[in-house]
Amino acid sequence: MTSGIGTIIIPVTDLAAAKAVYGELLGVAPTTDQPYYVGFESAGQQVGLDPNGHRQGMTGPVMYWHVDDLAASLEALLKAGAQELQPAKDVGAGKLIAAVKDPDGNIIGLLQPA
Question: What's residue 30's pLDDT?
Answer: 98
AA letter at 84: E
What CATH topology corresponds to 2-112?
2,3-Dihydroxybiphenyl 1,2-Dioxygenase; domain 1 (3.10.180)
In the chain, domain spans: 2-112
Pair type for strands 62-67 and 2-11 = antiparallel
Summarize pLDDT for 36-45 with one digit per residue, the tens. Answer: 999 999 988 9
* Residue 84 exposure: Cα atoms within 13 Å on the Cβ side: 14
- The three state secondary structure string of the chain is CEEEEEEEEEECCCHHHHHHHHHHHHCCCCCEEECCEEEEEECCEEEEEECCCCCCCCCCCEEEEEECCHHHHHHHHHHCCCEEEEEEEECCCCCEEEEEECCCCCEEEEEECC
The residue type found at 32 is: T
pLDDT per residue as tens digits for the range 19-63: 999 999 999 999 999 999 999 999 889 999 999 999 988 889 999
